[in-house]
């Protein structure tokens, strides 16, 4: 039986009749609340997965691009979400809470594997003005020399990012790739807002210092 929540339509107020909203029509906070109140509502939870599956897959990819079991990690994330969703106090903060589950799983796996993993495998990141990161490649065709310079830069950038402390790498991924707000990153990583800002600033500065010779070429 499909579960639904009532929603009063303007043309039915006079009669007092109510029409149900399907899961895909619900705003995020109501969808989360439905999943919390009705854990057996598979349609609601499936809709939650559908909305955020790409977010989970991207985040795990950028944190652990060389891990062959990323699909298993994605599945484990949703198992943890299902088991712990009832503990989420603010449904509107679901994305940050979900990101924290992903990062916690990532660190759990790092400890189990007992070896350092590359954090990112990006094809086209580069630094631009105002200490910001641009992750897009120019679309214009480049000559062989320019292509070689770019490839050298990207290889050095990968090494520079891999050399960052894990907390810095995670913060940079959440901010520059996933586009999370500082408050969401704080919730995802379990640190204060000030710590998030400090990590991002220090990570950007380290990258700029290490890549200063290459940045002059772009």
Domain range list for the chain: 23-113, 126-215
74-132, pLDDT tens digit by residue? 999 999 999 999 999 999 989 889 988 998 888 888 777 654 444 444 444 444 455 55
Q: Does domain 23-113 have CATH number 2.60.120.1440?
A: no
- Two structure tokens written together for 49: 């997965």
Average pLDDT over residues 182-190: 85
Is pTM, for the whole model, over 0.85? Answer: no
CATH topology of domain 126-215: Arc Repressor Mutant, subunit A (1.10.10)
Give the DSSP letter string of 112-173: HHTS-------SS-EE-STT-EE-----S---HHHHHHHHHHHHHHHHHHHTS-HHHHHHHI
Residues in the chain: 218
> What are the φ and ψ backbone dihedral angles of 190, each rounded to 5 degrees?
75, 30
Residue 56 has φ and ψ, to the nearest 5°, of -65, -45
SS3 21: strand
């Amino acid at each position: 039986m499909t579960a639904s929540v009532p929603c009063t339509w303007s043309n039915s107020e006079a009669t007092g009749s109510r029409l149900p909203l399907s899961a895909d029509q619900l705003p995020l906070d109501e969808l989360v609340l439905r999943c919390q109140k009705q854990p057996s509502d598979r349609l609601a939870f499936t809709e939650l997965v559908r909305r955020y599956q790409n977010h989970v897959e991207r985040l795990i990819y950028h944190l652990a691009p060389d891990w062959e079991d990323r699909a298993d990690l994605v599945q484990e994330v949703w198992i943890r979400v299902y088991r712990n969703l009832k503990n989420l106090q603010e449904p509107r903060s679901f994305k940050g809470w979900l990101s924290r589950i992903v990062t916690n799983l990532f660190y759990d796996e790092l400890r189990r594997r007992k070896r350092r993993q590359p954090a990112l495998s990006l094809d086209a990141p580069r630094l631009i003005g105002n200490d910001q990161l641009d992750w897009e490649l120019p679309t214009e065709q480049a000559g062989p020399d320019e292509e070689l310079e770019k490839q050298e830069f990207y290889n050095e950038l990968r090494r520079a990012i891999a050399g960052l402390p894990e907390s810095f790498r995670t913060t940079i991924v959440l901010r520059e790739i996933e586009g999370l707000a500082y408050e969401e990153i704080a919730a995802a990583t379990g640190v204060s807002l000030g710590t998030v800002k400090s990590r991002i600033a220090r990570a950007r500065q380290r990258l700029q210092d290490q890549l200063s010779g290459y940045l002059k070429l772009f």
